[in-house]
Structure formats: C-alpha cells, structure tokens
Structure 1
C-alpha cells in the first residue's frame, strides 16, 4: 500500500504517467497498475484519464492529502527503526534559496561533524518550489524567507536577517561609498536574479518604495552568474552581504549597504508541520538552534 501511495504522490506531482514512473524507478505499466489498484481498493476514481493525465478527481485530491501524511509517517517510522538498529544515519535533503546557499554550511558542517553517518543533499530552489517540494515529500527541510509571502502550514525556525548591499568591483569609484540609496542603485547597469526569485521581488519592492524601478540588463537564477558579471567589470548587482561574502576578500568585490529604505528580511528553516520529525530532521533542527550566523 505504501509503495502505491508513493507512486500516486509522484503522479500528482509530475502530472505525467511516464515522468512519474521514471521518478519512482518503475515502468509506466507498473505505475498505472498501482494507481488502478488504489482506485479499486478505495472504490473511487482518483485520476481523470484520457489520452494523457487529466488531473486528479475531487476524491483523488482528498486521497492525496492523506497519502502525504501516511507516507511521511511511514518514512519517519522506518528512520526511527534504522536509528535504533544502526544509529543516526541517512540522507538529508535540503532545498535552499540562492541567496542563502553561502549560509547553509553553518548548518551542515556541525551536523555532519556530530553525526558522521548523515549524508546531505543541498538543492538550489526558489521559495515557491521549496514549499511545493515539502508538500510533495521531495525534501526534508528548506532554507528560505520567513516573511513577505505566505508559507502555509510548516514548522519555522528563524536563523538570521538578510541585509542588502550593492555589490561592485573593489576598484569601482563607488566602492568608497559608506552607503547608497536604492534609487541610486536603480540607475546603474544592473544584473539581478530573475523575477521568480523572492529576492528579486524584494529588490523590486524596495526600489519602488524609493520611487525608482529596477531595469536590469541581465537576469539569472544563479548568484554565481551575477558575481561573474560584476567581476568582469561595469556591472553591479544587489545581494545580501552573506551571499557576496565569499567573494569580497579574495574576489575583488566590494559591498555598499543600501539605504532609504534600510531593509532586513528574516531567513530560516522550514520543515513539515508534523510530529514527530524524522531522527535526521530532528538532528538538523537541533544543529540550527545551536548555529551562530555572523
């Protein structure tokens, strides 16, 4: 039953029988048969069928909600039993907004040092994708913004505040500035994150509050791409200081605080709103409570 529910969750997520089968590591006929068996067991149709996947029926949507709970509980139980037998081990999957990727080592380093049998997978995703992946049981936790946009029903643990800076080459005349307004920054040759990123929506909002508008000449979903363009000369970008930190000393870059308005936005861990947490997730939350972010 659990395996069939996992296949059903994958189908609801992928909205395509072939992709769902691939994600589950089974053939498409095997997945189709599993969904059919679930429908026979529950006595209702779960999926609208035609020449392709047509979406979930109302009954399918209700089953999906319960399936996520059942599968999550089953995974937690399996991990608890493995921890009893083998000690704390397993793979921890964390999705992180691009601007927080430089901060995630403050969590993973002490976690893996304390629990050497835990393996960690870190994925770069948007804030919206992180919440969807939590719902679909694709990740164990996320590192994302805790304000600005609805989070839904999740457990949150605040970690630090983002403070925004204009990032430019260290040899730029602007690098000597003690601060710069958002309106001034809007007039530069900017490269920014893409509009699907919450950081970009924050940047756009603060520039609008300053009576200006961001008109980037280049957009990317990669912080590394933005940094590379700034290093090449002529470009500027807006990033939290923590994101630019690894490039400020040895990377030839400088960070000038942005003001009018002075802004800070809270970043933290989000995890499924379920108790108990898996042993591995509980260990991550414990590491997060102990972590110091400078």
Structure 2
C-alpha cells in the first residue's frame, strides 16, 4: 500500500469525479483508477461504487477514507514537525471561521505571526457545524466559532476569546425609537436586514423575537457581511449583529448602535481536535490563543 493511493481516495471523495481528482493529484485518470483498484485488491474490499462514473463510496470505503485522512494528516504533521524543527519561523495552518467572526481573524493572525513570523495561513468561512466536521477530518487545524456548538462528548479542546454581544445597528441618518437600550417590542416595526437563517447568530436573533412574541419586519436576508454592511450604510434599513460582525472601525463613525436588553449570546473561541501527536507548530499557536482575551475589543459596544 502506497501513500499516493490514499491521497487518490481522498481527492476522489472531494471532487466526486475521476478526471478532476486525477488532475488535482497531478496524474492521469487511468493512473488514479489503477491506484484505487490496487488499494481495493490489497484490502480485499470494494471501496467505490463505479460504472463509468463515480457513484460514491461503499460503507467499507467510508471507513477506509476516514483512516486515510488520519494517516495523511499524521504524515503531513510529521513533515511539518521536521520543517518546524529546522526553521521555527515558518509553518502552515488551516483555520475555519464562522461568518460573524470573520473580522476577528486579523487580530488573531497578528498574534500568531508575532510568535511564528513566516506563518502561512489558509482561512475559509464555514458554519460552526462544518468547522466541527472538518476538524474531525483533519482538514482544519483550528476553528473560530460559537463554543456552545462544540460537542460536549467530542475529542475537542476549546478556549473562549470573548462573550459575544448583539446590538441593533443602523446608519446615523436613520430614525430609530428613543432610548439607548431596546427590547424586542421596540424594534417590531424597524425594517431589518439579517444574516441567513442557517447561521447560529441569526438563530439567536430569531429566538429573541419568538420569545417576545414579536413578528419582525425583515426585508433582506444574506450570508454575506459585505452586502449587509452596504445596506445598513445606505440609511434605510437596520440590522441586529454581533459586535465582532460590525463594519471595520473606519466605517463605524457613520453608525449608531443600541444594546438589546436580555440578549444572551454564547462565548466565541478557538477549537482544535484533541490528539496525542500534535505538531510543535500547532502547540505553539494554541499556546498563543491561551494568552488572548478579546472581550474589550469584540465583547461589548457602547450605545450611540
């Protein structure tokens, strides 16, 4: 059994297409197919459902895929460990971040690069549930997410960075009800643009309206913060967002915010897979996260 056969299998599961998987591995399609068949022969099982096309993995194939991911991740960690031992200034890490926390990433990376100057980082946006799954699969090394979404019985370590606070936010040109703190009834008729319903942050907002017996006036739903920010700044629509998801501070001069009374939000923090053979790079970065406390930056907002 060769390592390249395992990488073929991982690529095939990712692309669900023989030609694209082969291209990603830098080999011909016949070579990839032959490698998969050889792996099936060596293991004595059928791994993929095939005719002329890829139809998915068999139940046995799913188990082999899980093992293959762990094996490849372990080897990548070994290579990185060796490189890190030679040059502690560099290394590579993949981070998954939920959309409401994307603006926290520059602060996190600044601290990481202070410890590892030549650090290479890949950052992608996922839901909290996707981050948990990708950590399990060793696709990500760190996640930035709501900590109440981390399975209590799962193999994970977590560290809280800040207790999130949601606020009503609107352009200063928009007329809002009087008061520095609002309850749900106060904003029943305020036109709103909100994050998409599949996002945990939006679900918390929906829970607030539901418990108050209020039907909100929602005009726009999106999973893109940039669009949501642009609509707010036009001055005709407001939103309820985590403080960490507000526009960059240069754009906040044009905004007014109001606290939402009784809004309970979960902690936001970093998560990693708990494993005995963690790399020196990940250990160093995890140590950096333990010294971070971002409550003063992202955990509260002054109503204005």
TM-score under structure 2 normalisation? 0.87
| TM-aligned CA distance change 1:29 to 1:292, over 3 Å | same
Preserved CA contact (<8 Å) 2:147 2:269:
yes
Aligned to 1:117: 118
Shift of 1:26: 3.9
**Rounded Cα–Cα distance in structure 1 between residues aligned with 2:204 and 2:24:** 34
| 3-state SS of paired residue (1:101) | helix
Aligned to 1:196: 198
| Alignment gaps of 5+ in structure 1 | none
Deviation string, structure 1 residues 13-69 (Cα, Å, up to 9, x no partner): 333334433444444333322222211221111111134322221211221222222
2:85 is equivalent to residue 84 of structure 1 = yes
Aligned to 1:181: 183
| Mapping for residues 1-294 of structure 1, pairs under 5 Å | 1-148=2-149, 150=151, 152-174=154-176, 177-214=179-216, 216-244=218-246, 246-247=248-249, 250-259=252-261, 261-293=262-294, 294=296
Q: How many residues align?
A: 293
| Alignment gaps of 5+ in structure 2 | 297-304
| TM-aligned CA distance change 1:66 to 1:148, over 3 Å | closer
| TM-aligned CA distance change 1:141 to 1:30, over 3 Å | farther
Shift of 1:227: 0.9
TM-score under structure 1 normalisation? 0.90
**Rounded Cα–Cα distance in structure 1 between residues aligned with 2:14 and 2:185:** 41
**Rounded Cα–Cα distance in structure 1 between residues aligned with 2:256 and 2:177:** 6
Please give the root-mean-square deviation of Cα atoms over the aligned residues, in Å. Answer: 2.3
Preserved CA contact (<8 Å) 2:10 2:68:
yes
**Rounded Cα–Cα distance in structure 2 between residues aligned with 1:85 and 1:208:** 56
Preserved CA contact (<8 Å) 1:168 1:175:
no
**Rounded Cα–Cα distance in structure 1 between residues aligned with 2:77 and 2:256:** 45
